[in-house]
Amino acid sequence: MLNKEQFADNHFIRTIIEEDLKNGKHTAIQTRFPPEPNGYLHIGHAKSICLNFGLAYVYDGACNLRFDDTNPEKENQEYVDSIKEDVQWLGFQWAGEPRYASDYFDQLFEFAVGLIKDGKAYVDDLSADEMREYRGTLTQAGKESPYRNRSVEENLDLFMRMKNGEFLDGSKTLRLKIDMASGNVNMRDPVIYRIRRAHHHKTGDKWCIYPMYDYTHCISDAIENITHSLCTLEFEAHRPLYDWVLENIPTPSKPHQYEFSRLELLYSITSKRKLNQLVSEKYVNGWDDPRMPTISGMRRRGYTPEGLRLFAKRVGISKSENVVDISVLEGAIREELEDSAPRMMAVLNPLKVTLTNFETGKTLSRRHAYHPNHEEMGDRELTINPTIYIERDDFSEHPPKGWQRLTLGGEVRLRYSYIIKCDEVIKDENGQIIELKCSIDHDTLGKKPEGRKVKGVIHWLSTEHAVPATVRLYDRLFTTERPDAMRGENGEYLPFTDFINPNSVAEITAWVEPVANTLNKESHWQFERLGYFVTDRYDHQSDKPVFNKTVGLKDTWQK
């Protein structure tokens, strides 16, 4: 459930909104979230979703979901469906029906005709390479196209013929007539239409010309009466063009664009093109691979909507650089799951322990709650038997200094049960430890031992009551903070795929409590002493449980 406190952080956009409401510039807030359906949404989009939908929620306004579908060659319905699912999973609902830039193609075309009639747009025959040459540089003004001064009549005729499919793809464009000497290269007669014969997921083959983003976006905002158009800082230099278009066409409103810094998450990438490369070249198992920073990948890994909203609040909104270590994200998820996830015991790397003095009727089992702070989650009996499993890492023949777990001749408490002492180590012919012989101190169930201190506590499972489960252990996908910014000896950028962590996933068979055979998909649990895990949203079955590791109990990443 949402509450306004989740979005109560103060930032400059909230200050602007409150001033606009106070002085009557706006009586209600209307925002929009405008993704391009050319890939799955990632953690940067999650921040933007929380901002746009969160502001609308806080100020009792509305937020539209609008698909920027002006690039049909890279867009498809799968991406549309995944985006809608991600937004709703994060806890938000858009106003009315989803909107599409393609809903406005007819209006965009008519506005373009109006700009031609006003002498503010012209059809250009320059190729893409020639256009780049004419455009100039950051320090050198551009040159006017030799086709810039065509008559209104000729431009109208050519534009209609472009629409009717008379010209080859890429042979002509429609450009705004602004200023080729502008210090802002975005204002140097930008292209607003190009010829592209591509099947569109919504309009089919109706159009063979498609509008450009900078032209489409501002008009879509105006048609939808958006009050605050929020985007990341790389679009700041595009704002003069945003304003120019709206000033030169008869739109029903004149929205304002505000920019904030984009999220850069260390040990990750947030380029859709590079994420697509990971998928298409099979470095990962799809867009929803739990190692991916996509919302669907994070969901499958066990991240929660509440945890992601907490993360978005913590990273904040500003114009300053927003570089965040992935440990901040993991910390927010961990904090949310600490309170919400019930506990069970699981042994990932089992070592058999025989309790040599186990006595039926004397050696007792105990009940314990699934969560120490939530009685409503219930409890269960933790049955102890003559043989149990412990974690292999919890025993050492040659323990380091400060060791508080089990060793030969040493004692340790079984969580929620007795203190045991290791009396004998059994090895196979190769010298590998295959079993421990331990004795129970029957006077230590629920109380401290007399005359000595035993600090260590380890988890365990009865061999008779443990059930097998597939457990997928996930780690960070990359071994370096900025995998797409690494340079070689000659200063050249190295392929980001060179820095994929070869140990980012492992699949094992583990032993877990019997409750695992009763769970639904996407059930979040803490494996005591090990971390947080979730039943896989696709592969888990009640009789064949599959868990994905979400995050450890603490940040153990070695930098």
Instruction: Give the other-Cβ count within 10 Å of 207's Cβ.
Output: 21
DSSP 8-state class, residue 441: E
* Catalytic hit among 66, 175, 272, 413: 272
DSSP three-state, residue 264: strand
Instruction: Give the other-Cβ count within 10 Å of 35's Cβ.
Output: 23
Phi/psi-derived region of residue 293, left when phi > 0, alpha when psi is between -120 and 50, beta in every other case: alpha
Residue 249 neighbours by CB under 8 Å, 6+ apart: 111, 114, 115, 219
DSSP annotation string for 165-211: T-S-TTS-EEEE-S-TT-SSGGGSS-EEEEE----BTTTBTS-SEEE
- Residue pair 275/496 in contact (Cβ under 8 Å)? The answer is no
Query: Nearest CA to 124 among 99, 147, 94?
Result: 147
- Residue pair 550/302 in contact (Cβ under 8 Å)? The answer is yes
User: By CB neighbour count within 10 A (0-12 exposed, 13-18 middle, 19+ buried), where does 371 fall?
Assistant: middle
229's enclosing H/E stretch is strand 228-232
Residue 434 neighbours by CB under 8 Å, 6+ apart: 352, 426, 427, 428
Is 273 an annotated catalytic residue? no
Is 272 an annotated catalytic residue? yes
Query: For the chain, what is the total number of helices (H) and then of strands (E)?
Result: 12, 27
Is 262 an annotated catalytic residue? yes
* Catalytic hit among 120, 143, 262, 366: 262
Helix %, strand %, coil % of the chain (to 5)? 30, 25, 45
Question: Given the structure tokens 């920019």, which residue do they identify?
Answer: 259
Q: Which residues of 374-459 form beta strands (DSSP E)?
A: 379-382, 387-391, 411-414, 419-427, 433-441, 457-458
Give the alpha-carbon dihedral of 480, 484, 487, 493, to 10 degrees: 160
Please give the span between the terminal C-alpha atoms of the chain, in angstroms, as a whole number: 36
DSSP three-state, residue 323: strand
The residues that bridge with 113 in the sheet, in sequence order, are none
Query: Nearest CA to 191 among 171, 207, 215?
Result: 215
Q: Which residues are catalytic?
A: 36, 262, 272
